[in-house]
Amino acid sequence: MGFAHIELAGQTVSGQVLLSAAGLVVVLVAGLTLARSVRRRRAAAALQAASMSRHDEAVRSYKASALEWQRRREELRTLLDAAQSGGTAQAPAGLALQRGERVYLTTTATLEGQGNAAEVHGTLTITSRRIVLDEQVWDLDTIAQLRHDGPDRTLLLLCQQQGWIGLSYADEPVTRMYLELVVSTSGTSRSELLRNVAQGLNDHELRRPRTPLPAEPVEGLGRRAHAEATAWHAARVAETEKLTALVDARVLMVPTQGGASKRSVGKSRPLVS
């Protein structure tokens, strides 16, 4: 079978050559289309991988913040229970309570030595009016500042005194809480103390961490990659229930004695979570 000859621009071209050229064009177009499709799928896969990585990082961050939030919430709840109970009238041996004075905590502690003075190891008692370490007594009204330095060490700065007093103690979470409680509310009435602590718990409740939700699979993935992304998404959604359980579902919004807010507590310093 022969091929026709066609004259183009004064040149004679056979039909076979034209067919070959057309086939080459088809191959080139198909190649370009395939290359674009591959690039789109690779870009989609990169976006999906980035989305998965961001979610995994968000989950790690959430777990840490949820545990810290729950821990601090329990601390504030303990503080509120202490403020509501008003402490106890049972003092350790050797400590005479003043009229109306209440004891919040008794534990062991060490007063760091200053200058040539030696360390003092003894019984630390935190009351509604004083911080007492054996013979050392600090009235709450004389404490200008309190600063925590590590999990089991607190520094006190007394009024009209330049040097800080260092206390290290046992039962560090509880002791820190009670030091915060009595110093932040020194000079206030018991009703103001209750408002202050309750508002601190309510403010903390409003900062409840939110469970991260996974993003939907991105568009443009290949069939296999899309199936894998869909399975990953379903697994992460199922994991959400377990993540949510890290934070107590009960909402503890407590009355602040007539709806008073922190602004109504005068000069007392609100608890900071």
User: Taking 80 as the threshold, does the pLDDT of residue 258 lie above it?
Assistant: no
Contact 77, 69 (CB under 8 A): no
Query: Rounded CA gap, 180 and 166, in Å?
Result: 15
CA distances from 45 to 21, 40, 53, 80, 217 (A): 36, 8, 12, 51, 10
**pLDDT, tens only, 116-139:** 778 889 999 999 899 999 889 999
Burial of 182 (0-12, 13-18, 19+ CB in 10 A): buried
Q: Give the containing element (helix H, strand E) for 93.
A: none
CB of 155 within 8 A of CB of 165? yes
Mean pLDDT (whole number) for 45-52: 89
Answer yes or no: is pLDDT of 94 > 90.
no
Q: Give me the pLDDT at residue 231, please.
A: 93
Residue 202 in contact with residue 185, Cβ under 8 Å? Answer: no
In the prediction, which pLDDT does 62 show? 93
Mapping DSSP to helix (H, G, I), strand (E, B) and coil, where does residue 48 land?
helix
To the question of pTM greater than 0.85 for the whole model, the response is: no
Query: Which residue from 145, 147, 121, 146 is spatially nearest to 135, judged by alpha carbons?
Result: 121
Does position 257 have pLDDT exceeding 70, yes or no? no
Range of lowest pLDDT (184-188, 244-248, 254-258): 184-188
Percent of the chain scoring above 90 in pLDDT = 23
What are the tens digits of pLDDT across the range 189-224?
Answer: 566 767 777 888 888 888 899 999 898 998 888 888
Give the angle 87-93-94 at the CA atoms, nearest 5°. 110
Give the mean pLDDT of the chain: 79
The lowest-confidence range among 154-163, 191-200, 238-247 is 191-200
The stretch 90-111 carries a mean pLDDT of: 89
